[in-house]
Structure 1
Amino acid sequence: MGAHPLVVRVTPTGTRPGNGLRRVLRGGAVNMAGAVVSAALNLALIVAITRAFSQETAGLLFSATSVFLIMAAVANAGAPDGLVYFIARMRVFGRPEAVPVLLRLALGPAVLASCVVGAALVVFAGPLAEALGSEEATAYLWMLALFLPFAVLTDSALAATRAHHDMSATVLVDKVGRPLAQLGLVGMIALSGSAGLLALAWAGPYLPAAVLAWFWLGRIVRRAAPDELPSPEAQDRDGREARDERDDRTDRSERDERDERVTPAVFWAFALPRALGGVAQMGVQRGGVVMVALLNGLSGAAVFTAATRIMVVGQFGTQAVLNAAQPRFAELLASRDHNAVRALYQAGTAWLVCLNWPLYLSALVFAPEVMRLFGDEYAAGVVALVIVCAGQMTAQVLGMGDLVLTMTGRTGLNLLNNVMSLLANVAVCVLLVPAYGAAGAAVALVASAMVRKLLPLWQLRSLVVLHPFSRPVAAATCSALVWFGALPMTMDALTGGGVPVLVAALLVGAIGHLGTIWWLRESLEPRR
């Protein structure tokens, strides 16, 4: 299942471990700046919806948009991951002139698939609305289906820009521009009182985002191709080396692999299993909302969505690190530098803990205050919020083994892992959601996360042994526990809690955490 990795011996210039790590950290810093803004905008969007509209209306929108995002994962056919993987390899092997051909190979079928899936969503909107118990759901799903191709084009084009180590397009277009437009449009709808247009306000910004992403990608490709072509001297040198080694069977096999073009069969053999894995992963992330709506009603879906917003905010920080590390992992694995892979994995895990543990620890300690942000009727989500935060903290410590597994080309295993994760989520939801509502869905979410995080570490053991037990991760964990665990709990016990205490604890903790990370910066450096 999936494509076998094309592993060759290369010696790319400027790819020393230190340089590569600095490049990833620069990209991660750009992504993180956007992630902070995007997290705030998305949280503000959910708060605006829950406070301006009833629980039933909010639950309907959350359920409909969850269906939209799952369908978008189906329609993109794995094109974003395939573009990152193969463009990164083309850059390593000095073949940027092949990128435009690859883009046409990937984007055409993905956009066509999105049109087909959008049409299917229109056809089945009625039965799905009936299952959700709301006639309005039909109109919501119809409006969302119109924008499905634009969502797929946006995701694929931005993935290709990240493969060129340009993170600014993703930040400006997807992390800042689109959610800002959504917030503004939802605010206008709230003032007008026309809840029927909520789906249009949420999905409409995908159209300008797709246009901007496409033009941004075109500019990068035109600029990169002539600059990255090998010089005539380099071509002559490579030719002499090839002639000198022609009689060596192993080297000849490696050169054949290096010269192999990315055919449609090769590309989609990699991308399609990853697409199915992405659908399963999105099913875990968003399927819980739909499951709660089906098994516990739209009000329960609204509560579960609000309770898991902290997890979604944390995912912006996670995605910022993953977006920066993904092409670098592909390059290191292509050159078989497994020590650098291990060092980057541990450094990345430390940064995941640095960025996300403060958020989850604070939400866990002040769970009642956090849920009151969405309105008094959302207090029932406190238990679900605590469960989600504890599970996500554990998941962050386990690192990004699933990303490393994908970048080895083992998309079949990645698919298996995500399917097993989805099955675990559905099974626990069926068992617990009817009786426990949002809390039962939170347990299902944690169970699926553990399956998806632990399996890749075991499956990669024969290639590169990855584990998060390292000085960088230990330093990040200790800092977060002190400043966002012990300090807030002490302040809460002494003062009785409340929003002012929460704000003060966050400010003091942020200053202390940043200072500690700076003081321990040498401990956070990876050890090869």
Structure 2
Amino acid sequence: MGPHTLVARVTATEDAAGAGLRRVLRGGVLNMAGAVVGAGLNLALIVAITRAFTQETAGLLFSATSVFLIAATVAGAGAPDGLVYFIARLRVVGRTDGVARLLRVAMGPAVAVAGLTGVLMVVFADPMARALASEDAATYLRLLAAFVPFAVMVDTALAATRAHHDMATTVLVDKVGRPLAQLGLVGAVALSGSAGLLALAWAGPYLPAGVLAWFWLGRILSRAVPDSGDAGPGSDVRDAPRNGGDVRSREFWSFALPRAVAGVAQMGVQRGGVVLVALLSGLTGAAVYTAATRIMVLGQFGNQAVLSAAQPQFAEQLATDDRAGVRSLYQAGTSWLVCLTWPLYLSALVFAPQVMALFGAEYAAGASALVVVCAGQLIGSALGMGDLILAMTGRSTLNLVNNVLALVANLAVCVWLVPSLGATGAAVALVASVAVRKVFPLWQLRARVVLHPFGAPVMVAAGSALVWFGAVPLLAVGVLGQGLAALTASVAVGSVGHLATVWRLRGHLDLRLRR
């Protein structure tokens, strides 16, 4: 071939990898802007509930909505992940005309399961109410059951828009619009003094969100044109749909259903702890645990901002067996996760009593649980997104096993520690499940693509966060004491210093929108 051809091909590969990183970064920036707003709205929603209503009422709402979110994940049947996976492959081979048929394959069973799940919530509302020792729980669960299909509509439509690299829909509909509507409605309920309407105020926004998401997806599909430029002629597209532009129902669900079980396991870890604490330690304990884990949920907005943008890019890189691109995006993405989430977790860890006071004086007992949660999330962010990459390789069974093992670890530790430690025991269980879900994929992927987070980008990001949100807050506490003044000063100084450091070292972090 000659040296010039080889150089040209290497340069083209590097350019393609850089273009992929910049595409993900642009999507991540948009998602992050929405995530910041959405995180603030969700925190305001929880604070409004904890301050306007009793701990028992707050714990009941948090427990009922946790059941709802688990049920919605079950009802989705893995369709959102399946849509991202197969739409990305259809776009790689230039067969976007198959997307509409794929949506029909996905939505029929998902809608049917959503209806059945809602019926089961109604049927088991009374037994669940007796287990929670609250008559109002049955009413909450029956009201929430009616909105399960709309939650499925939101998740599937937004997954399909992200597969087309459209992040604006997710930001405007799910990260901003829905929580803003929830906050407004919960505020109105708080002013009316009618706690019985809380479940309706929380779930009601799923209906317009579902309609808007599908309307927006329709506009994207109407403008879609065949996109064969990502892979290029002659590219080796692995695991592409076997029937040209048609994805057969069996092919789709053989991928999606294991992801459905994995998704339920993930949601069980995230929300099952609230229900278990309510069952084992009472509704008051569930309210405290929910408040203590709000910082984790805020950090997950940053995680989702990066993961939602990276998911379709990983799918396309793995479809063409671009191992170098996967490794590059994995380390860059992990460094972005550390840059975004470590400042939050480190600040909350140092100032745990002040953070819990935000929810009310009776929530001070959750400070120890908050410290445990933040320590675990620091480790989880640094280990990156290996579980997402494992899913995008099509290894749904391994992903399923990991998430089930994480759920088992969570349940076992909860049953062991929650009766004696309450919310803190549930926090330890959460950290154990995160460790299982993050470590196993890195080992399982070693034959396909060797991944580890210990590259220069992650080290730079972690170093900056530790200096500005670890050392500086501890110095502030030593000088000003553990109080609001130290918290304010350290966050202000740390934010400016961290942003300046990240900007100065943006080349090491692959934070370049243009080249």
Tell me which interval the TM-score lies in, with the shorter structure as reference length. over 0.9
Which residue is equivalent to 2:442?
457
Which residue is equivalent to 2:506?
521
Q: Which residue of 411, 425, 437 corresponds with 2:410?
A: 425
Runs of at least 5 residues in structure 2 that lack an aligned partner in the other structure:
1-11
- Please report how far the alpha carbon of residue 525 of structure 1 lies from its aligned counterpart in structure 2 after TM superposition: 2.6
Q: Which residue of 285, 290, 293 corresponds with 2:270?
A: 285
Which residue is equivalent to 2:118?
118
TM-aligned CA distance change 1:436 to 1:335, over 3 Å: same
TM-aligned CA distance change 1:420 to 1:256, over 3 Å: closer
- Please report how far the alpha carbon of residue 228 of structure 1 lies from its aligned counterpart in structure 2 after TM superposition: 2.3
Which residue is equivalent to 1:326?
311
The 5 Å alignment of 1:264-303 reads: 264-303=249-288
Q: Deviations over 1:405-457 (max 9, x none)?
A: 00000011000000000000000000000000000000000000000000000
Moved more, 257-266 or 457-466: 257-266
TM-aligned CA distance change 1:391 to 1:255, over 3 Å: closer
SS of equivalent to 1:522: coil
Letter in 2 for 1:117: T
SS of equivalent to 2:448: coil
- Please report how far the alpha carbon of residue 261 of structure 1 lies from its aligned counterpart in structure 2 after TM superposition: 3.1
For 1:63 and 1:371, locate their aligned partners in 2 and report how far apart those are by CA, in whole Å: 19
TM-aligned CA distance change 1:52 to 1:430, over 3 Å: same
- Please report how far the alpha carbon of residue 258 of structure 1 lies from its aligned counterpart in structure 2 after TM superposition: 7.2
Moved more, 507-516 or 282-291: 507-516
For 1:182 and 1:261, locate their aligned partners in 2 and report how far apart those are by CA, in whole Å: 39
Letter in 2 for 1:228: P
Which residue is equivalent to 2:129?
129
TM-aligned CA distance change 1:93 to 1:507, over 3 Å: same
For 1:447 and 1:151, locate their aligned partners in 2 and report how far apart those are by CA, in whole Å: 29
Contact 2:346–2:470, Cα closer than 8 Å, also in 1: yes
Which residue is equivalent to 1:98?
98
Which residue is equivalent to 1:186?
186
SS of equivalent to 1:259: coil
Runs of at least 5 residues in structure 1 that lack an aligned partner in the other structure:
1-11, 232-236, 243-250
Which residue is equivalent to 2:379?
394
Which residue is equivalent to 1:80?
80
For 1:76 and 1:356, locate their aligned partners in 2 and report how far apart those are by CA, in whole Å: 28
For 1:196 and 1:310, locate their aligned partners in 2 and report how far apart those are by CA, in whole Å: 27
1:19 to 2:4 alignment: no
- Please report how far the alpha carbon of residue 256 of structure 1 lies from its aligned counterpart in structure 2 after TM superposition: 9.2
TM-aligned CA distance change 1:200 to 1:484, over 3 Å: same
Moved more, 508-517 or 497-506: 497-506
- Please report how far the alpha carbon of residue 504 of structure 1 lies from its aligned counterpart in structure 2 after TM superposition: 2.1
- Please report how far the alpha carbon of residue 389 of structure 1 lies from its aligned counterpart in structure 2 after TM superposition: 0.2
TM-aligned CA distance change 1:102 to 1:449, over 3 Å: same
Contact 2:90–2:245, Cα closer than 8 Å, also in 1: no
SS of equivalent to 2:165: coil
Letter in 2 for 1:161: T
Contact 1:306–1:374, Cα closer than 8 Å, also in 2: yes
TM-aligned CA distance change 1:490 to 1:97, over 3 Å: same
TM-score when scaled to structure 1?
Answer: 0.92
Which residue is equivalent to 2:205?
205
Which residue is equivalent to 2:244?
259
1:415 to 2:400 alignment: yes
CA RMSD of aligned residues (A): 2.1
Letter in 2 for 1:43: L
Task: Quote the sequence identity (%).
Answer: 68
1:31 to 2:31 alignment: yes
- Please report how far the alpha carbon of residue 17 of structure 1 lies from its aligned counterpart in structure 2 after TM superposition: 0.5
TM-aligned CA distance change 1:113 to 1:471, over 3 Å: same
For 2:134 and 2:100, locate their aligned partners in 1 and report how far apart those are by CA, in whole Å: 45
Contact 2:402–2:436, Cα closer than 8 Å, also in 1: yes
- Please report how far the alpha carbon of residue 155 of structure 1 lies from its aligned counterpart in structure 2 after TM superposition: 0.5
- Please report how far the alpha carbon of residue 177 of structure 1 lies from its aligned counterpart in structure 2 after TM superposition: 0.3
For 1:257 and 1:280, locate their aligned partners in 2 and report how far apart those are by CA, in whole Å: 30
- Please report how far the alpha carbon of residue 277 of structure 1 lies from its aligned counterpart in structure 2 after TM superposition: 0.2
For 1:119 and 1:427, locate their aligned partners in 2 and report how far apart those are by CA, in whole Å: 29
Which residue is equivalent to 2:471?
486
For 2:198 and 2:46, locate their aligned partners in 1 and report how far apart those are by CA, in whole Å: 12
Letter in 1 for 2:79: A
Which residue is equivalent to 2:458?
473
Contact 1:97–1:229, Cα closer than 8 Å, also in 2: no
Letter in 1 for 2:148: L
Q: Deviations over 1:277-298 (max 9, x none)?
A: 0000000000000000000000
Letter in 2 for 1:49: I
Letter in 2 for 1:483: W
Which residue is equivalent to 2:333?
348
Aligned length: 499
Which residue is equivalent to 2:226?
228
- Please report how far the alpha carbon of residue 487 of structure 1 lies from its aligned counterpart in structure 2 after TM superposition: 0.3
TM-aligned CA distance change 1:360 to 1:230, over 3 Å: closer
Q: Deviations over 1:193-247 (max 9, x none)?
A: 00000000000000000000000000001101xx32669xxxxx97xx89xxxxx
TM-score when scaled to structure 2?
Answer: 0.94
For 2:14 and 2:490, locate their aligned partners in 1 and report how far apart those are by CA, in whole Å: 43
For 2:263 and 2:240, locate their aligned partners in 1 and report how far apart those are by CA, in whole Å: 32
Which residue is equivalent to 2:4?
none
Letter in 2 for 1:192: S
1:500 to 2:485 alignment: yes
- Please report how far the alpha carbon of residue 252 of structure 1 lies from its aligned counterpart in structure 2 after TM superposition: 13
Q: Which residue of 303, 311, 314 corresponds with 2:296?
A: 311
Q: Which residue of 372, 382, 387 corresponds with 2:357?
A: 372
For 1:489 and 1:229, locate their aligned partners in 2 and report how far apart those are by CA, in whole Å: 52
Q: Any runs of at least 4 consecutive aligned residues in structure 1 with deviations exceeding 6 A, and if so which? A: 12-15, 251-256
